Amino acid sequence: MLLILLQVGGFQVPSLPIWILAWIFLIFGLVALTTLVVYTRYGREISIKLSIISISISAVLLGFSFHFFLITFGI
């Protein structure tokens, strides 16, 4: 299970796979969000498809990353 906490000398360590997935999703979500911001600021022509795809990807990845961080902190 992903929610298993390891016991190391009385200190609870969060699950390593969830912690790693949270950081990966956070990084990729921020990259997608940065791509959207740069594209809308410096893009030559407006592409609705690219904007919708970037918004969807960044929202899903950032949502999962925040969710996994909250799981690791026990909230």
Can you give the residue ranges of every domain in the chain? 15-72
Look at residue 2 in the predicted model and tell me its pLDDT.
43
CA angle 68, 35, 65 (to 5 degrees): 0
- pTM of this structure: 0.69
Would you say 65 and 33 are in contact if contact means Cβ atoms under 8 Å apart?
no
The one-character DSSP state at 46 is -
Whether residue 75 has pLDDT greater than 80: no
Would you say residue 1 has pLDDT above 70? no
Give me the chain's average pLDDT, please. Answer: 77
Q: Where are the alpha helices (DSSP H) in 43-75?
A: 48-72
pLDDT beyond 60 at 71: yes
